[in-house]
Amino acid sequence: MASPSFDTLSRKIETRTARAGIIGLGYVGLPLAMAVARSGFAVTGFDIDPGKMVALDARRSYIDAVSDEALAAEIDAGRFKATTDFAGLADCDVIIICVPTPLTKHRDPDLSFVEATSRSIAAHLRPGQLVVLESTTYPGTTDDVVKVILEGTGLKSGSDFFVGFSPEREDPGNQHYHTATIPKVVAGDGAEALSLMKAFYGAAVSSVVPVSSNATAEAVKLTENIFRSVNIALVNELKTVYAAMGIDVWEVIDAAKTKPFGYMPFYPGPGLGGHCIPIDPFYLTWKSREYELPTRFIELAGEINSAMPRYVVGKLAEALDMRAGKALSRSRVLVLGLAYKKNVADIRESPSLRLIEIIEERGGRADYHDPFVAEIPPTREYQALKGRRSVTPTPETVAGYDAVLVATDHDSVDYAALVKSASLIVDTRNIFNRLGLSADHVIKA
């Protein structure tokens, strides 16, 4: 027999009278809040950053996936509001956690944000609420961390309140898929929790994919990102081997992908960026130690991808020496692109930051241009770069650098002008060849 809490919450979700609370209004939380609000639910967004509240109050979005117009529409319709006051969690029927899950310096999971958020929810927990974790983490976190903290109130999961996990699948800059059109994997602690998860997310997104347990759903997200990390590491390693043989890895991939079966193209680059792929695989590595099992593929992929910035700078130094007769230590370099991928402003874990750091460790001077990142914000690992501003790449400015290092292939850059004004270009994205702008002074790395 269903519990009264389940019956009450089911009716609220079915009639769209449930209020959703979304904690963390960043790249995941704000687009999710908009999708849930558009589906007819009232949404309260929670964040500890008062700067975000100022922007939201002004109907100004700071996330590319959410336009100012879309944000204003939900606020003006009364379906979305934002606050730093977590006491409002008591009024929410569905509470979704979208906070960061970084790694420590030793590559151990840092669940401090998840734990602190869970404690904030516990302070306002009441019967009839569904609490969902969306932050990427190792299998077991939802049940062993979030649920345990919430049950510390004396209320019980599965009867008083309900717990579920649904991994975020955001892809900043993707023009083909957005939050509401990406299939949503859902799981719950028990049959009733899963039923609520399917009902709630089914109302907000185009399709849901239920799985048997929260741990399974957590493993789904890790598997998706490990798949990408390992395959990117493979082509990065092939790049270094083929380059030594005088073979262009980009030409190899372009030819290989014409095979209509048994092959999927992945592309090399200057390193891995973003919050997911460089970080998430190591959550499984950490958890696997509990079972005394190695994760050799994951760790090797991490080593290869982490080595790419140093490899690229090595190719840069070699090109400067051979083509300009100048040491990197006496050179000025313009790094093109600070974001970790093209056409977004996201610099989380961006290899461009590491490239700048290595160039300057070797005595060179590095500036950057990025049409989406006017100034380098505070970061945990690159405090010395804070406050540097993007350089405008006029022909005269570009000509003043000894080399241009293309780290991110933003579409809005005038690459034809760069070819004319730069004396040396080191291209890590194959953008000049793709645009038919190959030249003797354009070197691939």
Domain locations along the chain: 4-212, 228-444
Looking at residue 4, what DSSP letter applies? Answer: H
Where do the H-state alpha helices sit in 111-160? 112-122, 141, 147-151
Report the SS3 class of residue 81. strand
Residue range 228-444 forms a domain whose CATH class is alpha beta
Whole-angstrom distance, CA of residue 341 vs CA of residue 173: 8
Helix (H) or strand (E) holding 406: strand 403-406
Do residues 280 and 221 make contact, with C-beta atoms less than 8 angstroms apart?
A: yes
| Residue-by-residue pLDDT tens, the chain, 445 positions | 678 899 999 999 999 999 999 999 999 999 999 999 999 999 999 999 999 999 999 999 999 899 999 999 999 999 999 999 999 999 999 999 999 999 888 888 999 999 999 999 999 999 999 999 999 999 999 999 999 999 999 999 999 999 999 999 988 777 788 899 999 999 999 999 999 999 999 999 999 999 999 999 999 999 999 999 999 999 999 999 999 999 999 999 999 999 999 999 999 999 988 878 888 899 999 999 999 999 999 999 999 999 999 999 999 999 999 988 999 999 999 999 999 999 999 999 999 999 999 999 999 999 999 999 999 998 888 999 999 999 999 999 999 999 999 999 999 999 999 999 999 999 999 999 999 999 999 999 9
Place of tokens 């109130």: 153
Do residues 19 and 139 make contact, with C-beta atoms less than 8 angstroms apart?
A: no
Whole-angstrom distance, CA of residue 57 vs CA of residue 266: 41
Point out the residues that are catalytic.
276
Tokens linked to 84: 């730093």
CATH code that applies to domain 4-212: 3.40.50.720
Whole-angstrom distance, CA of residue 352 vs CA of residue 331: 17
pTM over 0.85: yes
Tokens linked to 286: 């950490």
